[in-house]
Amino acid sequence: MSEGHLDFHDAKGRRRILVIEDEFINREILGFLLSDTYDLAFAETGEQALAILEAQFETLSLVLLDLNLPDMKGMDILRRIKADVRTAMLPVIVMTADQEAEVESLSLGAIDFIPKPYPKREVILARVLRTIELFEGRDIIHWTERDQITGLYNREFFYRYAAQFDSFHPDEATDAIVLDINHFHMINERHGREFGNEVLRRVGQKLLEVVREGNGIVCRRESDTYLVYCLHREGFEDIIESVSLQMGEGYRVRVRLGVYPDVDKTIDMERRFDRAKQAADKVKNSFTGAVGVYDSSMHEKEVFAEQLLESFHTAIRERQFVVYFQPKFDIRPDKPRLSSAEALVRWIHPTLGFISPGVFIPLFEENGLIRELDSYVWREAARHIRLWKQKLGLSIPVSVNVSRIDLYDPQLLATLQGLVAEFGLNRGEMLLEITESAYTENSEQIISVVNSLRESGFHIEMDDFGTGYSSLNMITQVPIDALKLDMKFIRTAFADRKDTRLLVAVIGLAKSLGLPTVAEGVETEEQVDALREMGCDIVQGYFFSRPLPADGFETFVSGLAGVKA
Ligand code: C2E
Ligand code: CA
Ligand code: CA
């Protein structure tokens, strides 16, 4: 038995063995031999054995079965274990002095036997260990259960063992912890992959060291995220401290923790760690603390989010999503001229009331519902473009938001083309806003999708420009028809200490590329004038109008002097 194996058992908490044995002295001997390495449950009678099997089958790794019991035949117990689907895979080692019985028990599904009187301690331990490993699949244990880099559990096995941990500690408060290494991708980039792996390994090892004392289990979930499930503790600074490694001269590893303390054991294991992850994200860019704790406000948010997700389909069916329109004005002429509008969705919820998209869009982007919502919004937009053409005799192009998730939908182009055809729209009447950050995510694929949209006649506006991480240089390379400057951009330029240099530079760059610029979030006349001065083409914002429901927008448009000219 190698060190490694012992290690491996300890790390996840000891495995549990049911010893079914009526003789006191034999129980004592087995206890003496095994209790250092294993967690033992004893049954003195067949009845007790069946009760333990019934209640604890999930936590057992092995049964040691004496064939002579006062109230029942050992063979019958073996039969029942093998006949019950819940325990059929549980290995049973038979303990007997009767060689005949050995054969019969093997044929009934016992995996091995231990003769009586008992052989040497090493023999028993080796058989027990071998059986447990055999049962769990030695290869599986070594290659699938464990993460190759750190030797910690991988995610699937971790969740299983965490559940098992619960059954060993049913009444004790337990914490779910997520640990992330700060800026791990930078470590990889700057020092190379091998160094990065070394960091992962050392962090894993340190984590195992601190947590073992506190009785818990550890895994690496993916890349630089570790999960810890352990008995409740006060304070987590010791974890931070011991994992904040100094890697040679060059680098000090910094981490952040998300803790969901005293978990609710009635919810899914994965959910417990989702909560810990949420808590970790809370301190992601914080300089003040490295530990985020899941609290009741986060819980309320989660409950709210769930409520929204649950009512999504009803909301679509009952048309609770209402599309508002906000005009965009061309400010190049002395008198600004309506150029188009942006479709912005709102949720008028029957019980929760008005919900703004900033609340539900990110949520729907997380789980793909956004595709359904967006195509609903696009259809509404298309319908109104046509309605206004008929009713007002005006062609008002409307831009719709295309979420980055939509760009991975192979049907995207077909869906949009279908709408344009169905409502008899001209090219260029439906504009597409695609957020800047979508381009940085997977630029090659996104660029090819955007290219195909443009080739079929759609105009693309790059939305939220200035919030992503793209360089100014990027806009020279991507296929777009207009640049929509993010609101924050405008805010900083017009803040107390005005600094419009960046704005001027960007507008200038866009102009040199022949790209019109759209400024968002423009609220004052002063801003409009300054933007015009800088060469900005189109303006959208409260100064002209807030987003309006369709009929309000109609009234607004009809009130514009000379719009029909
Ligand atoms: P966005 O695309 O950047 O939309 C502009 C946001 O700025 C809108 O917020 C608009 O109401 C707001 N806004 C416009 N003018 C002003 C102003 O002068 N001052 C201020 N403070 N705000 C102004 P809204 O409607 O809450 O939408 C938030 C975000 O939700 C949008 O940001 C967009 O990313 C997303 N969104 C809205 N509708 C949809 C949709 O149908 N599909 C998708 N995928 N996303 C949408
Ligand atoms: Ca937009
Ligand atoms: Ca925007």
Residue 342 and residue 484 in one domain: yes
Question: Distance, CA 540 to ligand 3 centroid (Å)?
Answer: 10
199: tokens are: 């960091």
pLDDT greater at residue 468 or residue 533: 533
Residue 467 resides in a domain = yes
Residue 85 reports pLDDT greater than 80: no
Q: What spacing in Å lies between the alpha carbon of 472 and ligand 1's midpoint?
A: 23
Cβ–ligand 1 distance for 523 under 6 Å, the answer yes
> Which residues form the domain of 376?
316-558
* Total number of residues shown for the chain: 565
> What is the average pLDDT across 47-75?
91
If asked whether residues 135 and 159 sit together in one domain, one would say no
Helix (H) or strand (E) holding 277: helix 269-282
Taking the centre of ligand 3 as the mean of its atom positions, its distance from the CA of residue 343, in whole angstroms, is 12
Strand-pair partners of 252: 246
Q: Answer whether residue 300 is part of any domain.
A: no
Ligand 1 proximity of 341 Cβ (cutoff 6 Å) = no
If you average pLDDT over residues 472-480, what whole number do you get?
78
Q: Whose CA is nearest to atom 32 of ligand 1?
A: 358
Looking at residue 12, its pLDDT comes to 42
Q: Are residues 416 and 519 in the same domain?
A: yes
CA of 520 to the centre of ligand 2 (A): 9
Query: Helix (H, G, I), strand (E, B), or coil: what is residue 485?
Result: strand
* Same domain? 12 vs 139: yes
Judgement on whether residues 109 and 211 belong to the same structural domain of the protein: no
End-of-domain residue from the set 144, 177, 194: 144
For residue 309, give both structure tokens: 């997700």
Q: What is the mean pLDDT of residues 463-490?
A: 82
| Residues 175 and 131 placed together within one structural domain of the fold | no
Residue 140 CA to ligand 3 centre (angstroms): 50
pLDDT cut 70: percent of the chain above it: 93
Atom 7 (ligand 1): residue with closest C-alpha?
A: 521
Query: What pLDDT does 148 receive?
Result: 80
3-class DSSP assignment, residue 112? strand
Structurally, the chain folds into a number of domains equal to 3
CATH number of residue 203's parent domain: 3.30.70.270
Residues 115 and 226 occupy one common structural domain: no
Backbone angles phi, psi at 285, to 5 degrees: -110, 30
Q: Is 216 in the pocket of ligand 1 (CB under 6 A)?
A: no
In a domain, 220, yes or no: yes
Which of 253, 245, 197, 192 minimizes the C-alpha distance to 220? Answer: 197
Residue owning the nearest CA to atom 3 of ligand 1: 464
Our answer on whether the CB atom of 403 is closer than 6 Å to any ligand 1 atom is: yes
- Ligand 1 lined by 354 (C-beta under 6 Å): no
pLDDT tens digits for range 264-301: 999 999 999 999 999 999 888 777 678 999 998 999 98
Task: Give 320-345 pLDDT, tens digit per residue.
Answer: 999 999 999 999 999 999 999 999 99
Distance 344 CA to ligand 2 centre (A): 8
Q: How far apart are CA 333 and CA 199, in angstroms?
A: 60
Place of tokens 């109104």: 384
pLDDT, tens digit (0-9, with 9 covering 90-100), for 359-409: 999 999 988 899 999 999 999 999 999 999 999 999 999 999 999 999 999
Ligand 1 site, residue 464, Cβ cutoff 6 A: yes
Task: Looking at the structure, tell me whether residues 344 and 486 fall in a common domain.
Answer: yes
In a domain, 508, yes or no: yes
| 129-138, 372-381, 449-458: least confident range | 129-138
Calculate what percentage of the chain has a pLDDT beyond 90.
56
Residue 308 lies in a domain: no
The whole-chain average pLDDT of the chain stands at 88
Same domain, 378 and 339: yes
Q: What's the confidence (pLDDT) of residue 145?
A: 67
Identify which ligand lies nearest to the alpha carbon of 354: 1
The answer to whether the beta carbons of residues 516 and 506 sit under 8 Å apart is no
What is the torsional sign of CA 93, 97, 103, 104? negative
Residue 543 has pLDDT above 60, yes or no: yes
Secondary-structure breakdown of the chain: helix, strand, coil percentages, each rounded to the nearest 5: 50, 20, 30
Query: Given ligand 1 and candidates 401, 492, 526, which is best to mutate, with the most ligand atoms within 8 Å of its CB?
Result: 401
What is residue 51's predicted lDDT score, i.e. its pLDDT? 95
Counting from 1 in the atom list of ligand 1, the atom nearest the Cα of 357 is 30
Note whether 415 and 478 are same-domain residues: yes
Shortest-distance Cα residue to atom 28 of ligand 1: 358
Residue 66 Cα to ligand 2 midpoint, Å, equals 73
Tens digit of pLDDT for each residue in 345-355? 999 999 999 99
**Distance from Cα 435 to the centre of ligand 2, integer Å:** 7
Across the range 253-263, mean pLDDT stands at: 94
CATH number at residue 471: 3.20.20.450
**The pLDDT value given to residue 164:** 78
Decide if 299 is inside a domain.
no
Q: Check pLDDT > 70 for residue 469.
A: no
The reported pLDDT for the residue numbered 41 is 94
DSSP letter (8 states) at residue 343: E
From the CB of 406, is ligand 1 less than 6 Å away? no
Ligand 1 neighbourhood includes 315 CB (under 6 angstroms): no
Q: Which atom of ligand 1 is nearest to the CA of 377?
A: 41
pLDDT at 481 over 60: yes
The atom of ligand 1 lying closest to the CA of 356 is 26
| CB of 96 sitting under 6 A from ligand 1 | no
pLDDT confidence band for 509 (50 / 70 / 90)? confident
Considering the domain boundaries, does residue 452 fall inside one?
yes
Q: Whose CA is nearest to atom 41 of ligand 1?
A: 345
Residues 482 and 363 in one domain: yes
| Per-residue pLDDT at 488 | 87
- 139 — pLDDT class (breaks 50, 70, 90): very low
Do residues 126 and 248 both lie within one domain? Answer: no
Q: Which of 245, 255, 268 is nearest to 176 (CA)?
A: 268
Q: In the predicted model, what is the mean pLDDT of residues 222-234? A: 92
State residue 284's pLDDT score: 84
Binning pLDDT at 50, 70 and 90, where does residue 78 land?
very high
Per-residue pLDDT, averaged over 15-43, amounts to 93
* CATH code at position 92: 3.40.50.2300
Please report whether residue 162 resides in a domain: yes
Q: At 258, is the secondary structure helix, strand, or coil?
A: strand
Task: Assess whether pLDDT exceeds 90 at residue 501.
Answer: no
* Nearest ligand to the C-alpha atom of residue 326: 1
